[in-house]
Amino acid sequence: MAQILTNVIEGYHDLMDNKSDPRVNDWFLMSSPFPTMCICLTYAYTVKVIGPRLMENRKPFDLKYTLILYNLFQVIFSTYLFYESAAAGWASHYSLKCQPVDYSLNPLALRMARGCWWYYFSKFTEFLDTIFFVLRKKNDHISTLHVIHHGIMPMSVWFGVKFTPGGHSTFFGFLNTFVHIIMYSYYLIAALGPQYQKYLWWKKYLTTIQMVQFVLVMVHAFQLLFIDCNYPKAFVWWIGLHAVMFYFLFSKFYKQTYVKKDKRVKVEDQKDDEKTKKSNFMLCFTTQTALYEKTDDVKEMSKGYTSDGNRLRNRVFIDNPRA
């Protein structure tokens, strides 16, 4: 047992010290995965347990201006990251088919590596999305999808920065930062107030864009299983399976939020139409108002109906003929 533990520890140090990218080993939070793991676990426990308990007997915070500034910051930060990934590779010499990692000290290679590192930190700033939900007591917004999505991403990106800060896998960050520009622009408009709600009709399509993003990442990653490319297959599976997982989580959210909602609306509309038809059938008196009001044309009746042979007739048409 002791030998097995020794082998595990030695294998871990060999992986971290000898098989990772030496350029990033001394960068902040890059020496070990455990600080990142602790931060992610603390985040999940805080937003699901501690936060709601602390806010249970408190009034929700009014964070209007905080949300405006936060979403504006995220739009600017995402734009910067998108620009860096484009300028360092995806808008110039990077190939969509096969792009090995450049581990050299080439300025563009280092620029891409630094961009990956800053992208890693952007996953921590996104924790504030959930913390703001807690402070505003929007606990119904803190779904499993939301917590998994935000809680896993820093850990996932850490491995990318540690071992492959550049090359094929950065396509995910390139697409993701573009989507986040759109997403946080939506949240920014929403934070401005109810008078801007009319400009937010495209929320449904925002989720669609996110799902398309994951499909593109899947195709882009898994193509290397059929192509000879000098890129670690482990990261092909790592990125590809993350995209698959997030696609199905977002797909489930889309169906619950939009598809089922549309069906409920249609059923309710059909019920309303049926009620209207029934109501119109039951109230088809040609002179309904006259039945309840005294006018020159309609006099008070001692009885409502009278017999006319084998049928009943309303006396308003018998005793009160029009002049």
Q: Exposed, middle or buried by CB within 10 Å (0-12, 13-18, 19+), for 314?
A: middle
Average per-residue pLDDT for the chain: 82
In the chain the first and final C-alpha atoms are separated, in Å, by 111
Q: Exposed, middle or buried by CB within 10 Å (0-12, 13-18, 19+), for 128?
A: middle
Least confident of 117-126, 150-159, 187-196, 200-209: 200-209
Give the whole-angstrom CA distance, residue 203 versus residue 183: 9
Q: In terms of Cα–Cα distance, which of 119, 169, 224, 158 is closest to 20?
A: 158
Catalytic residue numbers? 149
pLDDT at 291: 27
pLDDT at 313: 52
Confidence of residue 8 (pLDDT cuts 50, 70, 90): confident
User: Domain coordinates of the chain in residue numbers?
Assistant: 2-258, 291-323
Digit-coded pLDDT (tens) for 163-183: 999 999 999 999 999 999 999
